[in-house]
Structure 1
Amino acid sequence: MSSTTTSEVLIVGAGPTGLMLANILGMYGRTVTVLEARDTLIDYPRGVGLDDESLRTIQTVGLVDEVRPHTTPQHIMRLVNGRGKTILINNPQTDEFGWERKHGFIQPEVDRVLYDGLARFENVQVLFGHEVLDVTETADSVTTRVKVSGKNGGETERTFEAKYIVGCEGGKSPTRKRLNVSFEGESPSTRWLVVDVSNDPLGTPNVFLGADPVRPYVSIGLPHAVRRWEFMLLDGETEEMATDPEFVNRMLADHVPDPANLEYIRRRVFTHHARVAGNFRKGRQLIAGDAAHLMPVWMGQGWNSGMRDATNLGWKLTSILSGQAGDELLDTYTSERKQHAKAMVDLSLTMGNVIKMTNPAGVILRDTAASVLNLFPSVKSYFADMRFKPMPRYTVGVLADPTTGQSGTANGILSSKLIPVTTANSRVSPVGVQFIQPNVRTDELGVSKLDDVIGNWWTLIVWGNDPIDVLPAKTINDLKALGAKLVAVVPETQYKWAKRDMNPQTLVVSDVTGRLKKWFDDRPTPMILLRPDRFVAGASLHQDGPRTIDAVLNSMSFNRGTAETESELAGLDAQH
C-alpha cells in the first residue's frame, strides 16, 4: 500500500545540516519533510568544534539558549611537538559576530536540540526509518519513492512529492550520485584511531594537537566531562588490532595514569577525506553538508561548513517558494558556497600535513621555523587570532559591486575616486562578507544582540539618518516588497532625537557600545543592505543607494509585484 505526502521541500538526512535547514525553513513558514533512513539520531560524538558563525545561525533560529549548555566557549588549541613544546597557540579573542570564535561541543546533544526545535513548527515533520529509493524530477516538482521500515521488521513503500529535494545524507550521498556530479579531491591513506571516554580522567579543558613524529595524536577536552584522543595508525596496524583494548591502552599510556580504568564511549578507526562536489545543484535537486564536501578534521570545519550551507540555502529556497525570486537564484548557492568549502578543505589538509609529519629532517625544519616565527608578535598573533582561517567572501552571487553598481558580482576593493572613499581608513569592500553583530539598544528590548533586534529577514541599515529620508519612494517600495526592515543606527546621545523625529516605519537602534560607529568610521559605506544570512549584499554612500539596491534585487532575480503580499513577507520576521 502506498500513500503520497506533499510538501514544499524534502530533506534527506536528519544529520546536523538537514536539521538546521529544516529549522530555517520552518522558521520561515515553509512546509518541510525530513526523511531519515536510520531509526533515530546518531548518539555518539563526531564533530567537536563549533564556530561563532554557526552559533549565530543557531541564534537566528531561536535555539542558542538550548545549545550553549553543551558547549565550551573559547576552546584553545595548542600545537605541540614530539617533546611536548608548544609551537603554535590558537586562541582567538575576537567576537565580531556576537559570540566567541571557537567552542568545543558535544554534537549528539546539539543535534538533539536542533531536532527537538522542529516541534515548534506544525509545517515540519521528521520521519525515521524512511529510505529514499529513487527520485523522479519534472519541470515543477520532484517525486521520491521511499522504503519505510516498520518497528516489527516489515517494510512498505510511500511516495513523497515536493518542489525541491536537498540531500544531506553524508559523504556517501545517494543524492549526489544521482546528480552525477564530480566529487574532486583526495582521501589520504593515513588512518586514525578515535577514542572517546566519559568522566575525563585528565580534566584539562582545551585541545592539544600532538605533532609527534613517532605517532601524531590529538587530545581534546570536551563539555560534559568527555575527552577525545586520536592517534595516527602506522602501516600494518589493522582496524581489528587498533580497537583491541590492550592496543588502546598502549596508545594512552603516555596520556593517562591508568588507561585500563577508562569509561569508553567508542573506539573507532576512520580515514580523512578531502573532497568537494563539482556542483551543489542540478534542477530541483541539491546537496549540502558532507554530501557536498568532505573535510579532514584538523580545523573542525565539517559540522560548521554544513551550517554555512544551510544558512545560505534556507533563505534562498524561501525566496523562491514565496514568489519573491526566480528559480535561477539557486545557482548562486554553488557559486557562493563551493569556493569557501574548497578553501577550508585545503586549509585542513595543510594543517594535517603539518601535524602528521614523520620525516626527521622535515620535523626539525618545522619546529625551528615555528620557534623563529614565534619571536615576531605580529606573526604569533596571526595564528593565535586565527586570521589564517579564510572567512567567506562572496564575489559572485546575490550582491552588487559597491563601485560600479554591477549586479551579481563584487570586487573586493573600493575603487571609487570620490574623496569619502580615498580618505577612508579601509578601502576593502564589505560586500560579500558577514556583517558584525555587536550589542545595541532599543527601548523595547533594552541592550540586545543586533540580530535579535533586526530580525531574520532582509535589513537595510543606515548610519545616522532615516532610510526613508535618503531614498526615493520607488526604492522604499521595492524594499517593502522584499520584506526588508528599515533600520537607522545612531549614537546613544542621539537616540531620543531619532525616535522622535524619524519615520515610525523606521526601527531606530542605539549604538550603545560604539562598535557600529567604529565599523562605519572605517568604511565609506554608510548604507548596508543585509541578506537574511547576515552577509552584506550591497554597501554604498546614500546617493548610490537606489542603484545599489536595484542591482542586488536583479542579482537574486527579484519578482516585483508577483511575490506574496507585503504583510506575509513581513510576517517572516514576526515568526522569529
Structure 2
Amino acid sequence: MSRTRLLKSTKVTATCDFDVVVVGAGPVGLVAALLLAKQGISVLLLEKERSIFPLPRAAHIDHEIMRIFQSIGVADDVASSSEVSTRYEFLNVSGDVLMRFDTGRAAALSGWPPSNMIHQPSIEHVLRARVAECDSIDTRYGTAYRHHETCGEVVTVHFDTQGKASQACCRFLLGCDGANSAVRANSGLSLVDLGFSERWLVIDTKVIDSSRLPRHNLQICDPERPTTSVRMGAGRHRWEFMLKAEEDEDRVSAPAFVANLLARWDVDGAVELERTATYTFEARVANDWMQDRVLIAGDAAHLMPPFAGQGLCSGIRDVENLTWKLGAILAGRANTSLLFSYQTEREPHVRAMIDLAVMMGKVVCVTDPDLALARDKNLIETRRASGDASGAIPNPKLGTGLLQATSNIAGELFPQFTHKGSRSDDLFGHGAWLIGESIGIDGNTLGAAGVSIPSLSYFSPLVSQWLDDKGYNAVLVRPDRVIFGGGNAAELITAYADGLYQEARVVA
C-alpha cells in the first residue's frame, strides 16, 4: 500500500441524499448494498445495464460466502441453483493425479459445504429480488456513473440515465464496478501487474445428459493444450482451453474449432453449446483501495486467475469486511480511521489467494513437453511421499488490523455451529458478539461498541466445547465473524472499543 489520504472526523454535518452510493450491481455490489441495508444504512445502487447479463461467468463460491449469503437471507435460494463440488483434481495427460483437493459435502467451518459450483445469472436474480424488497436501497438500473468529487465529508456522485444527467451526495462512495472500474480511474487509483497473463477460450454448455460428463472438477495439465473441465450450477458445464500464441480469437470461437476441442470429451448430444468467450487470465491488485471517502472492492481492487475459484469469493469478502465498518462509522460507534484497516486486512488475504491461483496456474499452463514431464515426476513423487494425501483450499487468517495482538486466535473465522438443521448465526443475530463468560460486563459499554451477548440456547454445549478446545473463557467476534480476540471479557470489550476509535493516521 503506497499511500492513503487522511480521513476526517466521524460525524458528517452536511445533509446527504444517501449514506452510501454503490456503483455496480454485479454480485459484489448487490451483496454490499444488502449488507449495508440490514444495518439501516441508506444506499443508492447504480448499474449501467438494465438487465442481468444472461450467460455464466463466475463458477465457484465457498462456505464462507454461503454464510454471508445466509446473513442477507438468500443462502437457501442460492443453494437451490448450485451444485456441491466434492473433489478437484489436477491430472497429467496420462491421467495420473498431480494434485487433489477433496472437499466433501459435510458442512465446513462456516456451516455450509466447502465448495459450491454456481450459475452467476441465477445468483444475480436472487440478489436483485432481495434488493427489491429493501426500502433503504434505491436501485437505478440503466444508469451510468460518470464521475465524482469529494468536498470535506461529502462525496457528490454524477450519473446519467438515458442521457439525462443527475447527481446525488453521499457520505461514502463504493466502487464495485469491475476490472475496468471508472470509480477507480476517477480516484487516481491503479492496478499493479503481478506477472501472470494467459489467454484462454471458455466454452459454457447446458447439460442434457450429466452421466456422460466428468464427476469431478478437473485440470488437465496437457502441454499440448492445458484444459479445464468444471461442473457448474443450474445444469451447466464449462470447459476452458488455453490458447496458443498464434491462435486468433475469431478463429478459436468458430463452431468447427469448438467442436474439435470438445471431440476428445465425447459429449456430442450430452451438452448444448451456450456461449464461447476468450479471456486473458491475469493477476493484478490495486495500489490503494481508498481515496478520501471513496473505496473500491471486488474486481475493481484485484484480479486473479480462476484456478482456485476465489475471484468472486474475494470480492464478497471485501464488502463483508468493509460494510460493517461503514455501519459502525455511520452509527457514531467508530472513527473514520477504522477504514484504514480495510486494505490492511484484506490485501494480504487477497494476495494469498492470488498466489495460490497463480501457483495452480503455473502447474496447469506448462506447454514445454520436457518441463511438463519434470513437473509430473516431481508432483507424483511428492504425492507418493505424503501417502497420496489430498489437500484443501486454505483460508488464511487475518494478520493485521482491528485484532487483539496478544490472542493467537485473533483473525480466525469464528465457526458457525449446526444442530438439527439449525445454524447458530440465525439465533445469535447481527453485529458483534461476546461469547462465553460475561459476568459483570456493563450493558451500556457493550451497546456503545455495538456488541451483544447472544443467547446460546441449544448451541451452548457446542460453544462451550469450542471454548475449552481453544483455551479461552470468552471471545469477541466481529460483525464479519472474524475473531477479534480471546481472554478476559472486560479487557476484550475495552480493547475492541478502543480499536474502533483508533486515532486517524497516514499509512505509508
The two structures have a TM-score, normalised by structure 1, of 0.80
Q: What are the residue-to-residue correspondences of 1:7-406 with 2, within 5 Å?
A: 7-93=18-104, 95-149=108-162, 155-186=163-194, 188-201=196-209, 202-258=212-268, 262-377=271-386, 380-381=389-390, 383=391, 385-386=392-393, 389=394, 391-402=395-406
Identity within the alignment, %: 30
Q: How far apart, in 2, do the equivalents of 1:216 and 1:110 lie?
A: 29
Structure 1 residues 169-194: Cα deviation after superposition (integer angstroms, max 9, x where no partner): 10111111122234112464421100
**What is the number of residues matched between the two proteins?**
485
Q: How far apart, in 1, do the equivalents of 2:435 and 2:384 lie?
A: 42
Structure ranking higher on relative contact order (CA contacts 8 Å, 6+ apart): 2
Shift of 1:379: 6.6
Change (3 A) 1:230 1:345: same
Change (3 A) 1:171 1:447: closer
Structure 1 residues 498-540: Cα deviation after superposition (integer angstroms, max 9, x where no partner): xxxxxxxxx243347x543442232222211111110011211
Secondary structure, aligned partner of 1:163: strand
Query: Corresponding residue for 2:11?
Result: none
Change (3 A) 1:532 1:19: same
Q: How far apart, in 1, do the equivalents of 2:141 and 2:67 lie?
A: 28
Q: Which runs of 5+ in 1 are unaligned?
A: 150-154, 404-428, 441-445, 488-506, 560-576
Change (3 A) 1:118 1:177: same
Q: How far apart, in 2, do the equivalents of 1:76 and 1:311 lie?
A: 27
- Is 1:434 the counterpart of 2:378? The answer is no
Would you say the 8 A contact 2:65–2:317 is kept in 1? yes
- Is 1:528 the counterpart of 2:475? The answer is yes
Q: How far apart, in 2, do the equivalents of 1:56 and 1:189 lie?
A: 32
Shift of 1:362: 2.0
Would you say the 8 A contact 1:216–1:232 is kept in 2? yes
Query: Corresponding residue for 1:483?
Result: 450
Secondary structure, aligned partner of 2:403: strand
The two structures have a TM-score, normalised by structure 2, of 0.91
Shift of 1:447: 6.1
Would you say the 8 A contact 1:205–1:222 is kept in 2? no
Shift of 1:545: 2.6
> Highest Rg: 1 or 2?
1
Q: Which runs of 5+ in 2 are unaligned?
A: 1-14, 504-508
Structure 1 residues 101-145: Cα deviation after superposition (integer angstroms, max 9, x where no partner): 111111110121111111221110221121111101111211112
Would you say the 8 A contact 2:345–2:399 is kept in 1? yes
Query: Corresponding residue for 1:419?
Result: none
Would you say the 8 A contact 1:210–1:355 is kept in 2? yes
Query: Corresponding residue for 2:5?
Result: none
AA in 1 matched with 2:453: L
Structure 1 residues 16-65: Cα deviation after superposition (integer angstroms, max 9, x where no partner): 11000001111111110111111222221011111001000001111111
Change (3 A) 1:160 1:207: same
Change (3 A) 1:83 1:132: same
Shift of 1:349: 0.7
Q: How far apart, in 1, do the equivalents of 2:167 and 2:264 lie?
A: 55
Would you say the 8 A contact 1:37–1:129 is kept in 2? yes
Query: Corresponding residue for 1:562?
Result: none
Shift of 1:200: 4.4
Shift of 1:352: 0.3
Q: How far apart, in 1, do the equivalents of 2:385 and 2:126 lie?
A: 43
RMSD of aligned alpha carbons: 2.1
Shift of 1:85: 2.4
Q: How far apart, in 2, do the equivalents of 1:277 and 1:73 lie?
A: 32
Q: How far apart, in 1, do the equivalents of 2:273 and 2:268 lie?
A: 13
Q: How far apart, in 2, do the equivalents of 1:282 and 1:75 lie?
A: 41
AA in 2 matched with 1:303: L
Shift of 1:262: 4.9
Would you say the 8 A contact 2:189–2:287 is kept in 1? yes
AA in 2 matched with 1:551: A
Structure 1 residues 339-392: Cα deviation after superposition (integer angstroms, max 9, x where no partner): 1111111111110010111222222222222222222456713x1x33xx2x24
Q: How far apart, in 2, do the equivalents of 1:119 and 1:191 lie?
A: 38
- Off by >6 Å, runs of 4+ in structure 1: none
AA in 2 matched with 1:137: T
Change (3 A) 1:189 1:472: closer
